[in-house]
């Protein structure tokens, strides 16, 4: 009986003839251009997306943000509600 060869499937985003690089240990994957530069992003993990969102929201925790919340009552009220919900959820998770 002849041996059957196992067919190896290429990853979902794989394109033949391309070189893929990941500067952050696999969290994001890019195609490498022929000149060695980073090309288009092929895939990004949820962790990498979360880090990007954290960096985009960093200005909400600065001195200027506190001053804006003090200046605009609607912003302060929304922030206080956010803090209440955050504390309810985190304390609930700690109890379980």
**Where do the domains of the chain lie?**
17-56, 63-96
* Whether pLDDT at 10 is above 70: no
Q: What is the pLDDT of residues 51-61, one digit of tens each?
A: 999 999 888 88
Q: What is the structure's pLDDT at 72?
A: 97
Write b or e for each residue in 29-53: b if 16 or more Cβ atoms lie within 10 A of its Cβ, otherwise e: bbeeeeeeeeeeebeeeeebeeeee
Q: What is the structure's pLDDT at 33?
A: 84
C-beta neighbour count of 28 within 10 angstroms? 20
Q: What is the pLDDT of residues 22-42, one digit of tens each?
A: 888 889 999 988 888 888 998
Instruction: Indicate the length of the chain as a whole number.
Output: 96
Mean pLDDT of 60-73: 93
Torsion angles phi and psi, residue 21, rounded to 5: -125, 155
Q: What is the structure's pLDDT at 75?
A: 96
């Amino acid at each position: 009986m002849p041996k059957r060869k196992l067919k190896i499937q290429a990853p979902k985003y794989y394109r033949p003839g391309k070189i893929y690089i990941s500067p952050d240990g696999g969290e994001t994957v890019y195609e490498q251009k022929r000149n060695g530069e980073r090309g288009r992003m092929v895939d990004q993990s949820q962790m990498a997306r979360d880090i990007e969102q954290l960096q985009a929201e960093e200005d909400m925790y600065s001195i200027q943000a506190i001053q804006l919340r003090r200046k605009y009552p609607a912003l302060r009220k929304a922030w206080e509600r956010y803090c209440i919900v955050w504390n309810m959820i985190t304390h609930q998770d700690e109890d379980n």
